[in-house]
């Protein structure tokens, strides 16, 4: 009988090769052509109120993969999840409407069954870095899937993968950042890019910056004040904004300048002409 593939219920099998007569063009070439418009829709900016539904392939049905699958279908997307272990699909709620496939994320037959030909996005979130990266490369290079992300446990690899065009999420770094944000909120980094060279930080504005021009917090080439949250409302008009007590500062900073930015925020303005009183 050959090796059977397990699929969850209820679901629709996304692979329609059996329904085609095998006529030209070839399945992968045809899939790329058929997905062109859908890819353009995914790449285009959409307003929060009218999200474009796409087909998403998730490789790995652990806590992250299953959580993604549930969230995505709640948002109106179609989802297929691949995992080597049939028991992994027990993490999905009863009646989950997506497709489940027992298999490998770098087996093209399994990817075809998951609907990779028409997918607008793929997340490789297994417990293996190498498997995730291989899956992501196949998704990008073979199927032309526009939005691909790979979960990795070794953050030192992030820069290498970024060079070949594969965005990564470093689990360890993210976890450390989240814990630090709660332990020491005054020194936490909100986000870092895959190279670890650019960071976004949030800081409660010290009272001595009240009444001063907040744009003077920036340091050319090293740090830029991007936004200010005031009274629970984010503001982007920072060029002429004057500080008020309780402001939260959002800064983009090169990581090697973080200490200098901390000193600049902490010190009273005026010594070097920065933060002059607003006329």
Distance CA 145, CA 122 (A): 7
Distance CA 241, CA 15 (A): 55
Q: What residue spans define the domains of the chain?
A: 17-174, 189-266
CATH of domain 189-266: 3.30.70.1450
In sequence order, which residues have a C-beta less than 8 Å from that of residue 152 and are 6 or more positions away? Answer: 129, 132, 133, 158, 161, 168, 169, 170, 171
* Bridge partners, residue 75, by sequence: none
Which tens digit of pLDDT belongs to each residue from 227-263?
Answer: 998 888 899 999 889 999 888 899 999 989 988 988 8
Q: Please report which confidence band the pLDDT of residue 195 belongs to, taking 50, 70 and 90 as the band edges.
A: confident
What is the per-residue pLDDT for 115?
A: 97
Which tens digit of pLDDT belongs to each residue from 83-141?
Answer: 999 999 999 999 999 999 999 999 999 999 999 999 999 999 999 999 999 999 999 99
Please indicate whether residue 270 or residue 64 has the higher confidence score (pLDDT).
64
Question: Does residue 30 register a pLDDT over 50?
Answer: no
The sign one gets for the Cα dihedral 149, 222, 266, 237 is negative
CATH of domain 17-174: 3.40.50.720
Distance CA 194, CA 81 (A): 26
Which tens digit of pLDDT belongs to each residue from 141-173?
Answer: 999 998 898 988 887 777 677 767 777 887 766
Query: CB of 258 within 8 A of CB of 252?
Result: no
In sequence order, which residues have a C-beta less than 8 Å from that of residue 53 and are 6 or more positions away? Answer: 75, 76, 77, 78
Query: CB of 105 within 8 A of CB of 41?
Result: no
């Amino acid at each position: 009988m050959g090796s059977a593939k397990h699929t969850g219920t209820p679901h629709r099998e996304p692979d329609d090769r059996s329904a085609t007569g095998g006529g030209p063009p070839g399945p992968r070439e045809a899939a790329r052509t058929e997905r062109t418009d859908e890819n353009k829709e995914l790449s285009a900016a959409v307003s929060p109120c009218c999200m474009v539904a796409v087909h998403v392939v998730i490789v790995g049905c652990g806590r992250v993969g299953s959580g993604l699958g549930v969230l995505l279908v709640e948002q109106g997307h179609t989802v297929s999840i691949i995992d080597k272990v049939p028991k992994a699909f027990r993490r999905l709620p009863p009646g989950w409407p997506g497709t489940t496939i027992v298999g490998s994320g770098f087996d093209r037959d399994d990817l075809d069954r998951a609907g990779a030909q028409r997918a607008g996005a793929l997340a490789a979130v297994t417990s293996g870095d190498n498997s995730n990266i291989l899956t992501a490369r196949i998704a990008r290079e073979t199927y032309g899937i526009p939005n691909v992300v790979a979960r990795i446990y070794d953050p030192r690899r992030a820069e290498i993968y970024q060079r070949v065009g594969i965005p990564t999420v470093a689990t360890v770094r993210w976890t450390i950042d989240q814990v630090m944000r709660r332990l020491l909120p005054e020194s936490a980094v909100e986000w870092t890019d895959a190279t670890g060279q650019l960071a976004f930080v949030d800081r409660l504005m010290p009272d001595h910056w009240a009444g001063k021009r907040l744009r003077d917090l920036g340091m050319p080439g090293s740090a830029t004040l991007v936004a200010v949250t005031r009274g629970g409302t984010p503001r982007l008009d920072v060029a002429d904004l004057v500080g008020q007590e309780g402001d939260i500062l959002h800064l983009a900073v090169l990581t090697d300048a973080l200490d200098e930015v901390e000193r600049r925020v902490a010190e009273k303005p005026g010594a070097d002409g920065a933060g002059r009183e607003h006329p």
